[in-house]
């Protein structure tokens, strides 16, 4: 069997938003980079994300600024610059689902207090809306809570993947195997592409940005660190007879919103509500039918004037991959660790992908790895982009 040689400065494993964003940044710096993906682009955590570019407001719901809110506060502006063609990567083709989101409080005192504290602490990013300014859903006379506007956009994740991948598709390889390392320095490995061709790739540095897939690649290296934890969610989807699109968090005196709803479209263009928040966190030990029953009760409690009797329901079980934390705590920010010419990275949240790429790029520039004269890459197969889960009809059956 012929083995094709390929030499590059950096190899990135993982074709989600984190890996694709890093690919774009490093190529701008003149590095010869390839990205390797063994599935479709965005097929992991990326396509299951709600597309919310958090700015930290939801982390202030307990009435104090946390490490999470500090780390993520600059992210909406970074993403907006890229969408407007003024940022480090070009996201001008990204579809904006909503320029802003809302937080709403129910009539419950604890929920009102959560909204009050969040609005005071994040005054620059929240405004209380009067009735005429609210989304139509919250203009109903039966609504007794408050509504706050958040300066945090919601983006279509499939269009993010497409916008990042399209200019750099020549550098994205569709693989059919895990890497087989050929040197103790972890700089040479063999890998099979999706056409059955074997490549021997020599690189100065490898970046593992494959989310849950990082664990399998670390195993091929015989590395036990950094360890990974999985934070499961049971998300809920509903479609049919929905009144309008909504992008909003229902507040409670908790670090998580009671429920977070974003709106999307299925393959026929019908509105889909995608529900996360505390509902999804607490639903991991429920069956699908149990979770749907809880979701129905939650919507009846927080939006009691709406009729959901004719909607279709479905659940999505997903895992968020993160660095292992003491007692399984939630990471405050993105994560990178370097050992033996390997950087292992988790953005931990979609919104933090730019920060992760910036941190890795700065680390590489500060190292002894210098850009080579990046020439034309050889031809190899490229992966397609993944379809969003609510557009896969079998999930509704």
pLDDT tens sequence across 167-197? 999 999 999 999 999 988 899 999 999 999 9
Looking at 74-78, 112-116, 326-330, which range is the least confident one? Answer: 112-116
Residue 20, pLDDT > 70, answer yes
- Residues with Cβ < 8 Å from 120, sequence gap 6 or more? none
Choose among 374, 382, 342: nearest CA to 6: 374
Cis check: omega of the bond before 248, within 30 degrees of 0: no
Query: Which tokens in the block code for residue 352?
Result: 């933090």
Domain locations in the chain as residue ranges: 3-46+159-227+325-386, 52-155+230-323
Instruction: State whether residue 167 is helix, strand or coil.
Output: helix
Looking at 34-43, 179-188, 290-299, 363-372, which range is the least confident one? Answer: 363-372
Q: Based on the number of CB atoms within 10 Å of its own CB, is 373 exposed (0-12), middle (13-18) or buried (19 or more)?
A: exposed
Predicted confidence band at 60 (pLDDT cuts at 50, 70, 90)?
low
Find the Cα–Cα–Cα–Cα dihedral 254, 235, 306, 239, rounded to 10°: 160
Looking at 68-72, 129-133, 206-210, which range is the least confident one? Answer: 68-72
pLDDT at residue 307, rounded to an integer? 93
Question: Residue 86, by phi and psi: left (phi above 0), alpha (psi -120 to 50) or beta?
Answer: alpha
Say if CB 103 and CB 118 are below 8 A apart: yes
pLDDT at residue 112, rounded to an integer? 65
Residue 354, pLDDT > 80, answer yes
How large is the average pLDDT for residues 135-152?
90
| Residue carrying the six token digits 């229902």 | 250
pLDDT at residue 27, rounded to an integer? 95
Residue 256, pLDDT > 60, answer yes
Residue 129, pLDDT > 90, answer no
How far apart CA 341 and CA 326 sit, in angstroms, is: 26
Higher pLDDT, 50 or 122: 50
pLDDT at residue 69, rounded to an integer? 62
Predicted confidence band at 70 (pLDDT cuts at 50, 70, 90)?
low
pLDDT at residue 111, rounded to an integer? 64
Other residues' Cβ atoms within 10 Å of the Cβ of residue 202: 14
Pairing of strands 335-339, 101-105: unpaired
For domain 3-46+159-227+325-386, the question of CATH label 2.40.50.140 is answered with no
**For the segment 369-380, what is each residue's pLDDT rounded down to a tens digit?**
889 867 789 999
How far apart CA 349 and CA 270 sit, in angstroms, is: 27
How far apart CA 323 and CA 222 sit, in angstroms, is: 17
Instruction: Kindly list the distances between the CA atom of residue 357 and the CA atoms of 13, 37, 69, 79, in Å, as whole numbers in the listed order.
Output: 13, 17, 19, 13
Query: Which tokens in the block code for residue 232?
Result: 């499961």
How large is the average pLDDT for residues 334-338?
95
Question: Residue 124, by phi and psi: left (phi above 0), alpha (psi -120 to 50) or beta?
Answer: alpha
Other residues' Cβ atoms within 10 Å of the Cβ of residue 216: 13
Asked whether this chain's domains 3-46+159-227+325-386 and 52-155+230-323 adopt the same fold, the reply is no
Q: What is the largest CA-CA distance in the chain?
A: 73
pLDDT at residue 101, rounded to an integer? 92
Residue 62, pLDDT > 60, answer no
How far apart CA 47 and CA 41 sit, in angstroms, is: 9
How far apart CA 337 and CA 149 sit, in angstroms, is: 37
pLDDT at residue 67, rounded to an integer? 57
Strand (E) positions, 268-311?
A: 271-276
Predicted confidence band at 58 (pLDDT cuts at 50, 70, 90)?
low
Handedness of CA 63, 245, 294, 283 (dihedral sign): negative
Third-level CATH fold of 52-155+230-323:
D-Amino Acid Oxidase; Chain A, domain 2 (3.30.9)
How large is the average pLDDT for residues 65-84?
81
């Amino acid at each position: 069997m012929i083995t094709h040689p390929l030499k590059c400065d950096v190899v990135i494993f993982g074709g989600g938003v984190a890996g694709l964003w890093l690919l774009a940044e490093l190529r701008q710096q003149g590095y010869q980079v390839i990205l390797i993906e063994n599935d479709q682009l965005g097929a992991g955590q990326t396509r299951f994300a709600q597309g919310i570019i958090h700015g930290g407001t939801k982390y202030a719901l307990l009435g104090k600024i946390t490490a999470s809110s500090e780390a993520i506060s600059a992210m909406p502006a970074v993403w907006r610059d890229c969408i407007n063609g003024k940022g480090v990567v070009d996201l001008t083709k990204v579809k904006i689902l909503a320029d802003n989101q809302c937080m709403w409080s129910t009539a419950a005192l604890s929920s009102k207090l959560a909204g009050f504290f969040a609005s005071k602490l994040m005054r620059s990013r929240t405004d209380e809306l009067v009735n005429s300014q609210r989304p139509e859903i919250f203009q109903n006379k039966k609504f007794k809570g408050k509504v706050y506007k958040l300066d945090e956009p919601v983006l279509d994740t499939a269009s993010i993947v497409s916008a990042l991948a399209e200019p750099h598709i020549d550098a994205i390889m569709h693989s059919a195997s895990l890497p087989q390392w050929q040197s103790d320095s972890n700089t040479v490995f063999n890998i099979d592409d999706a056409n059955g061709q074997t490549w021997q790739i020599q690189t100065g540095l490898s970046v593992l940005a494959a989310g849950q897939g990082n664990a399998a690649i670390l195993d091929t290296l015989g590395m036990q660190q950094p360890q990974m934890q999985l934070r499961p969610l049971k998300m809920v989807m509903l479609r049919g007879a929905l009144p309008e699109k909504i992008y909003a968090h229902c507040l409670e005196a908790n670090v998580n919103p009671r429920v977070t709803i974003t709106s999307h479209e299925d393959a026929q263009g019908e509105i889909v509500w995608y529900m996360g928040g505390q509902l999804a966190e607490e639903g991991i030990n429920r069956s699908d039918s149990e979770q749907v029953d809880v979701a129905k009760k939650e919507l009846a409690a927080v939006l009691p004037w709406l009729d959901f009797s004719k909607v279709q329901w479905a659940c999505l079980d997903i895992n968020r991959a993160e660095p292992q934390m003491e007692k399984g705590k939630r990471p405050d920010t993105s994560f990178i660790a370097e050992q033996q010419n390997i950087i292992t990275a988790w953005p931990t949240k979609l919104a933090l992908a730019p920060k992760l790429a910036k941190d890795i790029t700065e680390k590489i520039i500060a190292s002894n790895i210098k850009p080579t004269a990046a020439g034309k890459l050889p031809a190899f197969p490229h992966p397609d982009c993944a379809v969003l889960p609510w557009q896969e009809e079998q999930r509704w059956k």
